[in-house]
Each structure stands twice: as C-alpha cells, then as structure tokens.
Structure 1
Amino acid sequence: MLNEPFPFGTSFARIFHVSPVAMTITTLDDGRYIDANEAFAALVGVRREELVNSANPEFRLSRFLGEDPAVYDSLIRPLREEKCRLRTAGGEVRHVVVSSQIQEWHSQPYLFTLLQDITDFQQAEEALRASETRSRLVFENIPLPVFVYDRSSLRILAFNEAVVEQYGYSPEELRHMDVLDIRPVEDHEKFLRHLPTMPPDTRGFGVWRHKRKDGRIMEMDVIGFDFTLEGQAARLAVCRDVTEQQEIRRALMASEQRHRIFAETTSDVLWDADIPGDVLEFSAGLTDVFGYHLDSKVPLDWWVSRIHSEERAAVSEGFYAALAGQDVHWSAQYRFRRRDDQYAHVLDRGHIFRDADGTPRQMIGAMVDITRQVEATEAAALAAMDERRRLARDLHDAVTQSLYSLTLLAETARRHARGGDWKAADEYVERLGELTGQSMKELRLLVHELRPSLLEKEGLVGALQARLDAVERHSGIQARLTVNLDRKLPPTTQLQYYRVAEEALNNALKHAAATAVHITIQSSDDEVTMEICDNGKGFDPARTGSGGLGLVSMRERLEKMGGRFELITSPGAGTTLRVSSPRQEGYDG
C-alpha cells in the first residue's frame, strides 16, 4: 500500500520525484494523471505541468502506449510486467518495461505505474526479465541495493530485496542492524569521521568497503541523498558492487607499474606498435641506447626510415608479412641509425596480438643493441682470416718447403742407389728421415694451434656453456645445457661435437628465429649422444638441399668418427639435431 513504509506525501513523494524510474499515478476510470514524476515527463517528451490533472486525451498513458487494449488492460492486473513500445509526444519509439498495481488512498483506488526505459540498456533487459515482479514501492524495484537509514542513530530504516540478496542477511536481521554492521570494523572510524562532512545535497559518496554476512568484503560505489523522514534526518543510499572493477583496476595499475619499472631498468628498448593506428611507442631506453628523445607516439615509417638502406626493404617486408600471416612472433637483425647518424646493429623481436578474427591489433617487442657482439664476431672472423693467412704462409714456408725438400732428397737418394753409390744413398735417406721428423713436428704445432683455445682450456661442457652465456642468452634466447656423462670425453670427440654444436647454434640464431635452445649430452655403455633442440621456424630439408645450413660438414665430422647424424625438422615445428658416436673404451681423461 502507498502508506507503507512511508506516509504518502512525505518521503514517498521525495523518492517518487527524484527516482530515475518513470512513474505515474492515474485514476482508474478516465486515466487522468494524479501525479507523474520528472523521469516520466522526460520519457514521453511532455512537461510535467502539462500532464498532471490534464484533460488532454493526447497525453493519456494509453495513447503513449499505442492504445493497445491488451497492453493497457494488463496494467490494471496486479503483479504483472509488460514489455512494450512507447511512442513519445515527438513520435520517437522507446522500448519500456511497464508494471502497475492498484493502490487505495483515502478509500479511492488509483493505478500506480512504473515505466523503465530499456532502449539504451539491453543488458539490463535480461535482469529485468528474470527479476521478481515488482509490486511494492519504487525503491524495491531498483535492481541495486538501496538502504534508508537514520543519520543520527545510523539504524537501518528500510531496504529493498536487492540488499537481502547482495549482503546475505535476512530481512529480520537487517531490521535490527545499523549501517556500521555492514562495514568492516577497521572502517568504522573512517566512516564516522566522514559522515558529518558530507553536505546534505551530496550525491556521490565514493567507493566504500561493505561486508557480507559471510564475511566477504565488497567494494560498493555509493550514491544517494539526504531527506527528512517523519521529522528525522535520513539518508537514502544506492549501492553498486564494483569489486571486480576495482580488482581489475588495481591489477592494471600493478601491471603498469611493473611494466614501467621494467622499462626504466632494462637496457633494451621496449616498443609497442598499434597496428590499426600505424603508430609506435618506445620506452625511455630509446634515449639511452640510440639518443632519440620522443615525447609521443611516432608513425611506423619513422622506424622504417632509420633502418639501413641495404636492409630496409627486407626488414619492412618481413615485418608486414608476419602481420599478414598467422605468425605470433617476428624477429629481424639489422642496422639502425642512431641520432648521431652512426649505425647500431640490433636484434629486434616482437610478439603479435590478434583479435578473434585473426586480425593483428598490437605488437609488443624489444630492440637489443648487439653492436659489440657483432663487432666482436667480425673481429674474430678477421682474426681467423689473418690466422688462416698466417697458417697458409707457415704451410708454404715450412711444410711445403719441407715437402719439396723431401721430394728432392728422395729423388737424389734414388739416383745414387741406381748408380750403386750406396754410401751416398744412405746419407740422403738419413737426411730424408731427419727432414721428415722435422716436418712432423711443424705439422703437430699447426694442428695444435688450430684447436679452439677455450675448448682446450675448459673442455666441451665448459666451452658450450661459455658459448650459450656469451651469445644465446645475451641475445634473449633461453638456453639450457644438460650433461649426464660418467667420464671425460676424448679430445677428438670433444672437438668434433663442439664444431657440430657450434654450427647448429649458429643456424638457430641466424636462420631459425628461435627463442629457446636446449643442448643435452649423455653417455651410455655403447655411445655418446648429443642433442640440440630449438623452437625456431624449422625447415624442409628436402627444399633446403643436402648441402644447406652446414649439414654436409656436420655429417662428415660424424662419419669420420664412425658416428650417426639425425635431423628432425619441419616448417613451424623447430629443429632437433641428434648426433652420436661410439664410446672409446679405455679412455678416462
């Protein structure tokens, strides 16, 4: 009834007029408006003053609802909701949910009607359809928890069904509670301190922590207003659960903070590409590494234009080809122009994020300055070339000359032997033996110089670990070395295995765009096995050819040892290289 729980004309009138839900009170016989709130007037497009007590038939509720007898007749049936279309005074069609009930006031029946505009709130349609039929006062029809409490005693005076559902208390329990009971104890002092500072016309009270009966904490966005109820200062509060949104917001802030800290502390240049927007944003590392100061996002062309002209087309084509395909990773090694117009060698990798349709939306990656590594590699290559030249000179100056001398001595000894001068022939054969011994010493020295110094010093395991630490890990590749050997390997096996591993690692780094590589070395009773696995692009061995990627040299190294060579790969499936050789008995290092 209209006089429960508020006397008609007091708090009910206040709620009636400020409610965002359109409401009317009409006579049963002729549909004349006894009252209508501003929400209804705004909904139908007519000023409230023109509606109340108006005899204009154009303003009748039945006219706004299309004068459908079935719809209008259903409105006088209690506990009934109807979903229908409402045509405003301006001709606009709005979708509304209408519910009415007959109430008596001063022994005179009236039709109390609520109209909820669901045109812009399709999501609310399901909630409205599933909710219980609203048959009481307006605040009980609001799907959000609504409290009315005494500002002095804080005692809860009224509540709607949503409060019972949201907080888990029974109606009987709520009638004996105050608003401190729905808050954590540690928040009481803050609430009591804040309460007197809120002006009477305050609408938004902010986000507060509320407590369910089961102890679970909810974060509620509270809005409302103050009014006078039966001579006492009261407050109506509408609460919306924003726990999930707050958790997402905090998680996002934490993620952004971690990203900011990472971007500030890493020496790499992080970047974020907005693919639809064709713009790129760099971390502060761009300034530290390359000298550029950017205050905002830049077009992707800004990045492309600073790639060395010899590599620009290939890198750009590879970038956009990765976006056009179904790849999730992109990588490239190229030269990038610094602000001082000098070029740095960079290893650039990105992860592509696509929507449900596979359309690329974003790519996030990092540029690593590998100039020192490249320069070191080039210096090592030049040193190796110089060393080869020196060895060639040594071979020519020492071994080749020795071989030539051996040939002359052998020919001279042969002539003396044919002539019967055995004494002279014996002298030449003796000199031949001495020169042969000297040549063998020089050859051993050259062979010793050809052995990798790190391998000689650290052994196979140490040399491979140093390689992984110096090259793969510094290039951002996850590298692991697993060893299960019960004794030291012979130097020949260590050297050949190191060369095979070096070739496979170079392929994974240069051609496969791998992000992880795992080397396993283990021995059994019969053989020693080494396996190198990467998660790179893989390839078709048949299309690559038997001589591609150093496969021939690998196979030849193993065949010289009587070993086996096995290659497992296919496009997109990574590469596994497995080699094995017979175990040499009697060698214990």
Structure 2
Amino acid sequence: AKRIRAIFEQAPLGIAVINSHSGQFLEINSKYCEMTGFSENEMLRHTFQDITHPEDLQADLNNMKLLLEGKIESFEMDKRYIRKDNSIVWVHLTVVPLWWGAEHPRLHIAMVDDITKRKRAEEAATLFRSLVEHTNDGIEVIDPKTGRFLDVNEKACLAHGYTRDEYLSLTVLEIDPLVATQGWEKTMDENRRCGSRVLDTLHRRKDGSVFPVEVNVTYIRLDRDYLLAVVRDISERKQAEAALRESEQQLRLFTLTTNDSTWNWDLVANHVMRSGFERAFGYLTEEVAPGIDWWVERLHPDDRERVMSTYQDAVARGSVTCSYEYRFRRRDGAYAMIDDRAYIVYDGTGRPVRMLGAMTDITRRKQDEETLRKSEQQLRQLFEDRDRMARDLHDNIIQALYAVGMGLEECQRLIRKNSALAVRMAGDAVTSLNAVMRDVRQYIKGLEPQFLSGRQLRVELAELVRTMEAPHLLRFRLSVDPAAAASLTSEEANHVLCVVREAMSNSLRHSHAKTGAVSLLQLNGHIRLEVVDDGTGFDMHTDGERGEGLHNMTARAQELGARLEVVAQRGEGVRVLLDIPRDREHV
C-alpha cells in the first residue's frame, strides 16, 4: 500500500480518484494540484465540473455517461481546466473505471498530462499556416541540397498551375529556367554567402508559359538547413516599366524635335524625370538632380512664392492644367524667362499623383516684346509731340501772325489818315514778328517756348488785349485776380494764355463783335477763366464740325484736368469757360 501511495504521489501525471456520479474529487496527488493551482484541500471541495472549461464540459459528461452505461471501457480527451488564478491550462485526460464486471459503478481514476505548450505550438502553427495560405505571394520551402520543394502554399500552386502534390514533386530547376542555366550548386553558393537576397527571375508554369517574378530568398538553419522563398508575380510591374521606358523614349524623341525642356514629376515618390535641360540651360547631365528642390532652388527669388501658389491654387480647384511665367537660372547664372505649361493627373480619390509639363524659353520673345513696347512708346511720344507742336504752332505762331497781319492791314488803312499812328502800329508789328521768329527758332531746335510764371501771365494777357485794341479792332476788358494768376503753375499759365489767344482770335475773325471781356478769378476749389464777346455767335449743333482751335482748347483742358465749356447761340455771342481744379496732385 505504501509503495502504491508513493507512486501515486510522485507520478509525473496528475492523478485523482473521483466520484463517478457527483464528480467530487476524493483523492488527488500534488501534480494535479500544481496543474490547477489549487491546494489539496481546495481540490477536495471541488468537482471536476467546477474546474472544467464550459466549452469542454459537455463532451466530458457525454464520455462519463457512456462509461457509466458500460458502453466504453475508458476514454481520453483534450480539455481545458480553469486554474485558480482564472488562467487556462490544457490537459490530456485519461479516465478508467474502478469497478469490474457487474459491480455498481462508483469511482474512477482521472489522469491528466499538461499539454498547454503543445496546444500553443499547434495554435501558432495553425495561425502561421493560415497566414501563409492567405498571403498574396507564393511561399516555397526548399531543400538546399537537392533543390526539391518541401512545402508550398496555395498561392504558389495557383500561380504556376500545379496541384500541391505535383508542385512537391518538382525541383527549382524545373520551374526557373535561369537557375537551370546557371546550375543549382552555383546558385546555392550565392545564397549561402548572402544569407538573404532579392532577385528578379522567370518562372515556368505547368502549361509551359513563363512570367516574371521577384524572389526573396532566405537561408535558414533550424533542425536542418532550409531555403525560404517568397515569390511575387511582377508581370504588371514589368509591363508598367516597359510602358514607362517606351514613354521616356517617346519623350526623348519629342524633346529632340522641340526646343522645350520637358519634365515628369511623380508626386507620390517626389521624383522628377527631366529632358532637354542640358541643351536649353547649359547644365551637365550629372548636375540635373531628380528632386523637385533642384528646380525650386533655380527659380528667381522674386518669382518662387508666386509660382508655387499658382500650382497649389490649381490643385485646390481640381484643375488639370496650369501655366505660369517665371525666371529660371541657367548654369552660367543668368536668368531665362520661361513659359511653363503643366498637366495634372489625379487618382480615383482626387489626389494629385503626377504632373507633366514643358518649359519654353521665351527670353528672346520677351526681349522683342520689350523692344516693341519701347518702340510703340517712342512712336506714341512722337505723335504726341507732333500733336502738341501742331497745337502750339496753331495757338501761338499762327494766331500771333494773324494778329500781326490784322495790325498791318490797319496800318495800311491809316497810313494816309494818321501816319504817326500807322508808324507806331508798324513798330508794334515788327516787335511781334521778332517774337514770332524767336519762337519759330525754338521749335526748329526742338525746344519748347519758355514757360510763363503765373505773374507773367498777367503781363502777357494785358499785351494780348492791347494788340486787339488797335483802332477799329475788337476791344476787350481784362480782369485778372493777382492771387488766382500767382497760384497757377507755369504749365497751367501757358495753357491759359493759349486758350485766351484762341478765343480772342476767333472773336476777332468770326464774331464781328465790338466788345469782349477776359477774366481770371479764384472761386471755391478752382480757378475760372472766362472769355466772352457780344458778336453774332453760332449754332453749336448746325454750324459744322469743330475747328482746329476748339479741338486744341479741349486737348489743353484735358491735360490740365480742367472742365471746358463753350456756350454759343446765334445772335447772342460766345462764352468760353475753363475751370481748373486746385486739388490736383501736381499743383
């Protein structure tokens, strides 16, 4: 009895005597207690039902029922116990009865072996196998000595068209023509030396067709040596690479037929393929970097922010095209003016993934445009100078000559009646002619007549009125506010004098007026010039188009920013008003 008790206590298995009807533990050894985490006394207060995992309990009870009914002599099963700390322990249970023959069933022995590690290893192996079978790549386990396949996953079988048994009957040389050419021993030498490597090769299917693959090979030492190969079908990648090479070739050919520099920016990889930059900007091939920063660094600092904003705005709007002009630094440090036109490619989510464009050097065109602009500006200036000269000749020289002519006619009439007056008027005519010749010489030299000051304007106006007041000529009254005249600039004073001369000359030649008036007054916010006569007047709407004089007065008013008004009615004389604002910036 002592010997049996010693075996019971020292057994490497958990052993317990259990009531076959209630499941109560009656005797139990220390190994059983160690597996469950309970003390002996605690175990003797429990039944096997108390510590059996709920998912395993019914199977255990079913086996006990068959045992009690005499339908089985014993049974074994894997089951889980819930330990005292609520952790799980896997055991292999063997149950044998402690009754014989027709005895009434009462007790049985339960023997349990801890198989937790084995179960976890099996679960891990099952998980690993599931992962291997569900991966998108083919997995091959190879014997390094023979090259024979020891294991493969379903993906590898599908890709090559073999069943698993057919695949495992093959060697690497039978599916990889490049390895067959090189030889297995040389291939294995490279695998051992590298330990792990990635190579592109070809695999042959069961139907004889071949397809490109990327193989990641690792040399593994476990209980023995293995080769683990992860095989990926790269047919689509190779097709894309071939298409890209063809596209690049077409791009290079296109570049050779144009002066443009082309670029292709992969926004995801931030890689830029460029062509034509060597020829267009003088860079060496090795100096043209594939990153976008290389291009950004060569933008003119004043253009950089604007160009990048233009691209960002185009993307924000979802535009497929954008264009911009900027300055780009050549290899020699000079800047070329560039017209850059880009096309933006988006993926299915609307994210920009690629940009393609062409840079055209428009430096010469911009220089030509600038030359043309300056030429047009010079031509406009010439026309403006011509118009101004024609206006000044009309308003100054011609009007002055007309006044001299009128005076000489009067001298001719007076020479017999009042010779002294005629001589004095002839002298005035000579003085006026000398002044006219002085102004003509100035025009010939390309110089403007000397500008008047505001104060000189009063003197000139008085002299003009005196000239008109020769005997039997039109008489004008003059009223000039000294403060108003003094506030005028030289330019304004000259324009005012010309307007007065033109208005008075028109009155003298056309109106048959007897009297007139000239006034220059300072009103609220402006200076007002007024020239009136009591002549025959004219109809503004029916007496023909505007003459040169009225056209010139209008042009002078525009240059001054002033308001010109001519009021005329048949039989009621003419009134000319010129309002010059005092808030102009140049005053």
> What is the TM-score with the length of structure 1 in the denominator?
0.41
The structure whose Rg is larger is 2
Q: TM-score, normalised by structure 2?
A: 0.41
